[in-house]
Structure 1
Amino acid sequence: MPNKNLIQVFEYQKLRFTDTNDFKEHHFKALVKFNEENDNKYFKPIYNGIQFGSYVGVLQIGGLTIEILPKADKIDNSNQQEKDTWQSVLLHMLRVCNKIQVETVSETQLKKRYHSILEAYFAMYLEEIEHLVKRGLVKNYRRVKSNQLAIKGKLVFAQNIQKNTVHKERFYCEHQVYDKDHLIHQILLRGLQVLESLNTSHLSDKINRLLFQFDEVKHITVNANHFKKIKLNRKSQPYDRALSIAKMLILNYSPNISFGQDNMLTLLFDMNMLWEEYIFRTLNKHKPFGYEVSFQNSDTFWEHKTIRPDIVITNTKSENFVIDTKWKIVESNNPSDNDLKQMFVYNLHWKSKKSILLYPQVNQRDSEFGNYFYKHLENSQNQCKLGFVSVLENGSIKKGNILSDEIFDKL
């Protein structure tokens, strides 16, 4: 049974608050404000709603979760089985690209237990902190300044005179304390507070129990710089996973984005960039012997401008092959002029005889390699073709080694 607090949509799909009881006008206003604060890159406002673009992932606004799923075929937007399939594809691609670390959660568990990708994250975060609490939260040394009834550590003369002119019996000292109130715990506490604010009522008991374990930890406003300061050692290494999830929660959280009504958590990815990285990681992991695969090879093109093919493959004969990934549905054998010109330049610049424009497959077949006609290349090849690969096989996610073999065979 679908979760009433979860709406699943596909790329470029429209969502109106007049079409569903779950998506309200205040949700719409929160999304529009969030989008405006991010250069309007995530979706397009339309009458009474929004139209999603190339970004996929998950949004949580208060108690409502919206999953935006990739769409590589002409599927029925209302078909739940199709939504489950493409949710699994998205989760798999995010895993392979190390965008989320949910390798302990299978797609089956996700559907039965969590309902959404984001909810899986919430549950894992709480499980990680529970595990740390059972191990015993580690203590660290930290330096503090405070008034004492006896000299403890080092007397801070200037501040002692300033603060204790009347109270001669006190001493303003700087000294060390050994306790649980340090940056790592302050970050984990902030992560718990984010979950508490997101109206995750079914997790509230567990959240409150864990918040109690951090009652002596100072509340701070956490930003990206705090995570850069953390250096894990042997004693704090078990915190690594919890900190990774906390980083995602905190840095993607937007409190009170719509006039104090809704808190928002977003985890969004450009599908074009995700597809590009997914193909690279798959090829690099399952490459045949004698091949090297490199990613985003930027080089100077004109003055200060650079060019960057997505993937360059080199073999032991020092032959180069260029792959440029495109996450969109196209008619077979009909590349755009701009794409063909771009691949021609890649071939010249990287001394590649062959290049491929690689698209997700619906029903298309690969084209044959076509020749570029250029008078200075009469005795040398400069070719390009369209290639198509599917991430699915018989309704299930295609294994990485099979996908890699298919792509290398195209060369």
Structure 2
Amino acid sequence: MKKVRFTLFEHETLKVGQEKDSVVFTMQHLQALEKFYGDECPYFSLINKGIKCNEHVGVIHVGNIIIEVLPKADRSNSENKWRELLIRMLKMVSSFNVSAPTSSFLSLQSNYILDLYFELYLKEIDLLLHKGLIKKYRRVDNNQKALKGRLQLSKHLQKNIIHKERFYVNHTVYDQEHQIHQILLQALKCIELLNTNPKLNVTSVIFRFPELSDIHVSKYTFEKLNLGRKFKHYETALSIAKLILLNFHPDLSNGQSDVLALMFNMNNLWEKFVFFSLRQRLKNCTVKEQGSKLFWEGGSSHQSFMKPDIIIEKPIDEGIKTFVLDTKWKNLYGGSPSAQDLRQLYVYHQFYDAEKVALVYPGEKDTIEGQFQKEGRECAVIQISYNDNLETFIDNIVEDIEGWL
């Protein structure tokens, strides 16, 4: 089946009838998305004969098309520029503790998010196979030629009335067939079904994997999974398998409208990217992702919490000064921040007794110093210029924040 990619930017629309490379976004594609996501999909909203993207970016694979949604923080419509930025940001802030030795420089130099995650998963599985898959004990019922384990009398009489030399028993087996490996194999089969990149040889990896019985995988499967120290090096592979399997919706009727969505909230990604950049390179400061704090309580069942994006603690002569950053993935284009965003910072100022607070946006390089009129405390708007070179982009973030501090 020919696969075609429709590339959109945040907040753009895709409507039935749009065509690319002789492939059309059809009502069947739209109905598949409606079927699996309904009216409350977090990734897009339904419009008349189409969808409208929101702040989520990534890919949605449906039937024979791939809908790619890219971030955009300036007026540039360069797909390659924003695709590369998204992939680099995901690599940097990924919570996966990657163990594959070449994961930082993937051999495909992948240009697409699906390829990126599929290849990373295959490399993790390849590493596990190279080390040797871990065996576990399990109990099975079957016929044996020796009385080994516990005899299942009723089934023994039922199945072995002719074969007197056999025993139907419940006994212990030590092998590679257990739930962890079954999950990993399910993800491999899913990738084999969806993969469009001929350089990713999924079949050869599956061939090296032991034959296992299929299981139904849900979020409860992962919640109940107990790895322990023995399976510590399985964590990355299982994390990617979870991302793929829990976002894959097979079309059980005819298989023509399978759906897989790997989507990421761009506001959250920008927050993580700024945080990681500052934590790695901001000197003489402690950078924290602040946990939630109780802000209001109205009895045992009525509570409200607040959670600023980033807290910076800077030591000075008389002690520690606190600075609060609130990140926003949008471009002001020379305008002013919303009153709601400023009110939020005002609360952070009071609640954390902050020396300064700031809103951090992507955009043209600019820092607007301001203050809340009642207390005269400083509140800045910091716009950080994007650069095609990721290292320069990170340097811009650190330099601008350091200069503001």
TM-score between both structures, scaled by the size of structure 1: 0.82
Against the structure 1 CA distance between its residues 402 and 359, is the aligned structure 2 distance closer, same or farther, given a 3 Å change threshold?
A: closer
| Consecutive unaligned residues in structure 2, runs of 5 or more | none
One-letter amino acid of the structure 2 residue matched with residue 267 of structure 1: L
d(CA) in 2 for partners of 1:369, 1:160 = 83
Against the structure 1 CA distance between its residues 7 and 257, is the aligned structure 2 distance closer, same or farther, given a 3 Å change threshold?
A: farther
Against the structure 1 CA distance between its residues 42 and 372, is the aligned structure 2 distance closer, same or farther, given a 3 Å change threshold?
A: same
> Conserved in 2, the CA contact under 8 Å of 1:257 and 1:264?
no
| Consecutive unaligned residues in structure 1, runs of 5 or more | 77-81
Of 176, 181, 199, 1:180 maps to 176
Of 238, 241, 250, 2:245 maps to 250
Against the structure 1 CA distance between its residues 318 and 94, is the aligned structure 2 distance closer, same or farther, given a 3 Å change threshold?
A: same
TM-score between both structures, scaled by the size of structure 2: 0.84
Against the structure 1 CA distance between its residues 147 and 277, is the aligned structure 2 distance closer, same or farther, given a 3 Å change threshold?
A: same
One-letter amino acid of the structure 1 residue matched with residue 76 of structure 2: I
> Conserved in 2, the CA contact under 8 Å of 1:8 and 1:67?
yes
Q: What do the CA deviations read for 1:70-97 (whole angstroms, capped 9, x no partner)?
A: 1000123xxxxx2111111111221222
d(CA) in 2 for partners of 1:107, 1:46 = 40
Shift of 1:69: 0.8
% same residue: 34
> Conserved in 1, the CA contact under 8 Å of 2:366 and 2:384?
no
d(CA) in 1 for partners of 2:382, 2:252 = 43
Q: What is the RMSD of the two structures over their aligned residues, measured on CA atoms? A: 3.1
- The size of the alignment, in residue pairs, is 387
Residue matched to 1:396: 389
Residue matched to 2:31: 29
Shift of 1:153: 1.9
- 3-state DSSP class of the match of 1:369? strand
**Counterparts of residues 176-325 of structure 1 (less than 5 Å):** 176-198=172-194, 200=196, 202=198, 206-214=201-209, 216-228=211-223, 229-231=225-227, 233=229, 236=231, 239-256=234-251, 260-303=255-298, 304-316=303-315, 317-325=319-327
Residue matched to 2:157: 164
Against the structure 1 CA distance between its residues 258 and 341, is the aligned structure 2 distance closer, same or farther, given a 3 Å change threshold?
A: farther
One-letter amino acid of the structure 1 residue matched with residue 281 of structure 2: H
- 3-state DSSP class of the match of 2:183? helix
Against the structure 1 CA distance between its residues 258 and 302, is the aligned structure 2 distance closer, same or farther, given a 3 Å change threshold?
A: farther
Shift of 1:370: 2.0
Residue matched to 2:119: 123
> Conserved in 1, the CA contact under 8 Å of 2:278 and 2:287?
no
The answer on 1:350 being equivalent to 2:346 is: no
d(CA) in 2 for partners of 1:348, 1:103 = 47
d(CA) in 1 for partners of 2:61, 2:158 = 54
d(CA) in 2 for partners of 1:292, 1:127 = 32
Shift of 1:333: 5.7
Shift of 1:268: 0.7
Q: What do the CA deviations read for 1:28-83 (whole angstroms, capped 9, x no partner)?
A: 2222333317x23211223332211100111112342222111000123xxxxx21
One-letter amino acid of the structure 2 residue matched with residue 280 of structure 1: F
